[in-house]
Amino acid sequence: MEGIIQIAGVLDEADAVMLMEAGVEQIGFPLGVHVHKEDMAAEVAARVIRLVKPPITAVLITYLTRAEEIIDLSNRIGTRPVQLHGRVSIPEIIRLRALAPALTVIKSLIVEDNNVAKLESIVLKFSPHVDAFITDTYDPVTGASGATGKTHDWDVSRRLAIVSPRPVLLAGGLTPDNVRRAIAHVRPAGVDAHTGVERADGRKDVRLVRSFVGEARAAFAATRS
């Protein structure tokens, strides 16, 4: 996992097709998120996900914390990667891996004020049980730990990328204007954007998406040179 560009949140098939044509590697589908209004029902997401063909990957993004619920939703919509933003425990992730070993498990690391030591501890404890991590921003107003449109201290994400034995992706307020600087600073394995490439109506803006992809690709190329 290196140089991954993920865009999360689509409203319909047209959005998904646009993202694929724009060159993203992964499309995130937030479902079972609780703190946000879902973009679509699971049945609609399943229909859209059938349009997503390799090498592009559909990713379930969820706040669900119980293994059986995560597996059920993943099976219903047809995704193998699951990105977990809820307060899921290590025993539950172990159970998840035992029941569904084909799943790719991405664990969120939610950056708040002065919690880098706590996040480092989470990385060390969870690394044997997950495939990757994604850093994101906590919003104390809404309680959301993703799709907040807010950046966080990139020094924290940089530290986590250094200490983690697993790949670390970066999310949180990323836009075409800041993603190049973010990648250069954090050196993540991938980046994720949601609200930073949307119009006011919540639909993805093709101009912003293409700009984000171009800036991210240029930054990843520069970090490899």
User: Alpha-carbon distance 203 to 1, whole Å?
Assistant: 28
Query: One-letter amino acid identity for 203?
Result: R
What is the token pair recorded at 165? 């034995």
pLDDT value of residue 114: 84
Block mean pLDDT (10 aa), the chain, length 225 = 92 94 96 76 95 95 96 97 95 98 97 92 97 90 72 95 98 97 98 94 94 98 88
User: Alpha-carbon distance 132 to 105, whole Å?
Assistant: 7
User: Alpha-carbon distance 212 to 18, whole Å?
Assistant: 13
Residue 3, SS3?
Answer: coil
Tell me the domains of the chain and their CATH numbers.
Answer: 4-224 (3.20.20.70)
User: Alpha-carbon distance 216 to 225, whole Å?
Assistant: 14
Query: One-letter amino acid identity for 90?
Result: I
- What pTM, to 2 d.p., does this model score? 0.94
What is the token pair recorded at 168? 């670390």
pLDDT value of residue 36: 61
Q: Which residues contact 191 (CB under 8 A, 6 or more apart)?
A: 4, 5, 6, 169, 170, 171, 174, 179, 182, 183, 216
**Residue found by looking up tokens 């020094």 in the block:** 155
Q: Which residues are bridge partners to 60 per DSSP? A: 29, 82
Within a 10 A sphere around the Cβ of 44, how many other Cβ atoms? 16
Which candidate, 34, 30, 23, 36, places its Cα nearest to that of 8?
30
